[in-house]
Amino acid sequence: MSSRDHYKIALVCPSCAKIGTVHFSELDGYSYMSDRTTRLEEITEGFVAERPPGNKEDYVVRCEACDVGVPI
């Protein structure tokens, strides 16, 4: 089994300026070629991450208080 690379991305709501982080992981090295699944490991309370319909790889993050999309 391959190990996973871990990423931490800063979040800032463009509407209310709430700050947080999201932690993702994915297979490292050449393993990603057979499994491109990105996992959301952790997200700061007050933010929600969802996968758009029909998209198994990307996440859309939004601020729960403002219901505004947050760029990642």
Q: What is the 3-state secondary structure (H, E, C) of the chain?
A: CCCEEEEEEEEECCCCCCEEEEEEEEECHHHHHCCCCEEEEEECCCEEEECCCCCCCCCEEEECCCCEEECC
Q: 5-52, pLDDT tens digit by residue?
A: 899 999 999 999 999 999 999 877 665 556 667 889 999 999 999 988
| Counted domains in the chain | 1
pLDDT at 34: 62
Range of the domain at 26: 4-70
pLDDT of residue 3: 78
